[in-house]
Amino acid sequence: MQVRLGANPIIWSNDDLRELGADITLETCLGEARAAGFEGMELGHKFPREAHALAAVLERFSLKCVSGWYSAELLVWGAREELTRLRPHLELLKAMGSPVLVFAEVSHAVHGDLSRPLSERPVLTARDWGKLGKRLTEVAAATAAEGVRLAYHPHMGTVVQSEADIDALMAATGPEVGLLLDTGHAALAGADPAALARRYAPRIVHVHAKDVRAKIAAQARSANWSFLRAVLAGVFTVPGDGDVAFEPVFAALRDYCGWVVLEAEQDPRIANPLTYARLGYQHLKRLVSEHAA
């Protein structure tokens, strides 16, 4: 396993619920990520979006730009229009030498609405899957031609949430479309992250490592909470602090080559970001060491 360990700024500042960590500066985030041991960072809403400025701030902390989330609406716009909308983000990733593009279809999604339960998320028909698969494959081929691999991110509250959704997505798309394995979202959706890792290992091009507190996840499902309500209740934490079995996940990723990014969207007033970043880093470092090819 040839991997590098990165972090997502969502540990410090939440992108969907921006009052969480609003007072934490970008410099604090980057300094603590580096102090915890990480080599790279994904992008968040506090980062500069001009390549020179972004490179300058990351270089101050000896960090690489791993990737950055992109919210797509392929079911609304189509591939050609989406590529036009994607262009500034893609050019930034290319300028920063980022190998992957974190990509999620958010047409009619509910993950950013505190008041809307997950039961109201959009569900695709067979015809929709064919449309999405064709358009997504076209976009992925275009970004790959420019040196950036598309990593599709299944996410709670979106059209690709469950294990069945992931299976449908992989069946509907060509090999150009890579899969981002997010252990936290998979577990919260009721899927087995290790089974997904085994099934789709050749197509997994990026990994988000976060843990789930099973008791809170069960409560969120039974009470039909919104995604953000579950986040506020503490459903996510870093690997080693929850109930996801990471050993079989990393065993299945034995031949994986790329970034493993620590995530855990929590309230930083309750879960000190540096404390949890260090805990997660040490757990991931051990897992990578023990399962190296």
Q: Is the pLDDT of residue 58 over 80?
A: yes
Q: What is the pLDDT of residues 15-28, one digit of tens each?
A: 999 999 999 999 99
Per-residue confidence (pLDDT) for residue 293, from 0 to 100: 58
Report the percent of the chain where pLDDT is more than 70: 99
pLDDT for 77: 93
Spatial CA neighbour of 161 closest among 202, 123, 208, 134: 123
Task: Please state which of the four CATH numbers 3.40.50.200, 3.10.180.10, 3.20.20.150, 3.90.930.12 is assigned to the domain occupying 2-290.
Answer: 3.20.20.150
Q: Over 60: is that where the pLDDT of 220 sits? A: yes
CA distance 277 to 254: 24
The chain-wide mean pLDDT, for the chain, equals 97
**By percentage, how much of the chain surpasses pLDDT 90?**
98
pLDDT at 2: 87
- For residues 65, 67, 68 and 70, what is the CA-based torsion angle, rounded to 10 degrees? 150
Q: Look at residue 1 and tell me whether its pLDDT is greater than 60.
A: no
pLDDT at 206 over 90: yes
- Residue 242 has what pLDDT? 97
Residue 254 CA to residue 194 CA, distance in Å, equals 12
Report d(CA 233, CA 14) in Å as an integer. 14
What are the pLDDT digits (tens) for 103-133?
Answer: 999 999 999 999 999 999 999 999 999 999 9
Residue 263: phi and psi, rounded to 5, are: -135, 155
Which of 27-65 are b and which e, b meaning 16 or more Cβ less than 10 Å from the residue's Cβ? eebbebbbebebebbbbbebbeeeeeebeebbeebebbb
- Alpha carbon of residue 128 to chain centroid: 23
Domain boundaries, the chain: 2-290
Is 167 buried (19+), middle (13-18) or exposed (0-12) by CB count in 10 A?
A: middle
The radius of gyration computed from the CA coordinates of the chain, to the nearest angstrom, equals: 18
Mind listing the pLDDT tens digit for each residue in 173-191?
999 999 999 999 999 999 9
CA 244 to chain centre: 16
**pLDDT by residue (tens digit) across 70-94?**
999 999 999 999 999 999 999 999 9
Q: In what order do the strands lie in the sheet with 149-152?
A: 64-65, 40-41, 2-7, 257-262, 204-209, 178-182, 149-152, 100-105, 69-72
Vertex 123 angle, CA 11 and 229, to 5°: 35
Assess whether pLDDT exceeds 80 at residue 234: yes
Predicted confidence (pLDDT) at residue 292 exceeds the cutoff of 80: no
pLDDT of residue 135 exceeding 80:
yes
- What is the distance between the alpha carbons of residues 11 and 264, in angstroms, rounded to a whole number? 5
- pLDDT tier, 157 (very low <50, low <70, confident <90, very high otherwise): very high
